[in-house]
Amino acid sequence: MAYEMRIEDNIVIFQFKSNKVSSIQLETLKALDQVIDRVNNEEELKGIILVGTDRYFSGGFDLNEFVSFKGPQEIIDWFKVEEEVLYKLFVCSKPVVAAVNGAATAAGMIVACAADYRIAMNHPKIKVGMTEIKLGLSLTPAEAGLMRWGLDTEKNYRDIIFKGDLIPITEAVERGIFDELADSPEELMEKAKAKVVALIDTPGRPFIALKKVHREHHASIIRQGIDNFDWNELVKVFTDEKVLGTLNMVKGALGI
């Protein structure tokens, strides 16, 4: 199973579990799409906590899928699903908290940036960031929009996206990209649950309206970007032999 979904204290815990780097597969995205619908529509559900497994929050989208597309339409179909799910995650009406238990890179960093609050394990080996530029990959409208939102400043965006280097989690907190640290997995989940409750459990749940107002302008930019996107640009990327060679090399290095 590429993911696990459970409900604790009326909060959905969505856990990335695919392979040793908690890759996000198409199956994972479709499941997350259903979870977002449930949280939006079921009154008793308070929000979503995203978490990974072992040493990884998520190492990104599954490279096995990226190097095995069977043709242009499969590439386009994959990313149309991905874009819609990322957009829905960004505009989810209830709190989304990223409980970053380990390394968060590429898509792992993107989904963390979609969250309303980001808590990470305080460990010297945990690094986060975006290495896409070094792999020959750009960003889609939803990916770029979520990163621009989460990174907050022009300098953070330039440093993280254009350099392609990973940074220690402590630096991510210092830069304001992540909100706080936890010293154990238990404390990480306790803090994540407490944040969801603090945001949603107030009279009349004003968080829902406040979040909508807060994000609607940026959401409209992302929406417009998706709707106007030339999907053939992705076909060029994922049929480029140099890009595929680099992705296969990284896949082999990760042992996935």
In a domain, 84, yes or no: yes
In a domain, 256, yes or no: no
In a domain, 28, yes or no: yes
pLDDT score at 1: 86
In a domain, 239, yes or no: no
If one counts every other C-beta atom within 10 angstroms of the C-beta of residue 39, the result is: 20
* Domain count along the chain: 1
- Give the integer Cα–Cα distance in Å for 207 and 199: 6
pLDDT score at 41: 98
List alpha helices for the chain, DSSP H: 26-41, 63-66, 72-90, 107-114, 132-135, 141-151, 154-157, 169-174, 185-200, 206-227, 232-237, 241-254
In a domain, 82, yes or no: yes
Q: Can you give the residue range of the structural domain that contains 151?
A: 3-200
In a domain, 98, yes or no: yes
Render pLDDT for 91-145 as a digit per residue (tens, 0 to 9): 999 999 999 999 999 999 999 999 999 999 999 999 999 999 999 999 999 999 9
Find the length of the chain.
256
Asked whether the beta carbons of 129 and 171 are under 8 A apart, the reply is no
Tokens of 224: 């417009």
pTM across the whole model? 0.97
In a domain, 195, yes or no: yes
Find the CATH number of the domain harbouring 195. Answer: 3.90.226.10
pLDDT score at 88: 98
Q: What is the CA radius of gyration of the chain?
A: 17
In a domain, 115, yes or no: yes
Q: Which residues of the chain fall short of a pLDDT of 50?
A: none
Asked whether the beta carbons of 50 and 115 are under 8 A apart, the reply is yes
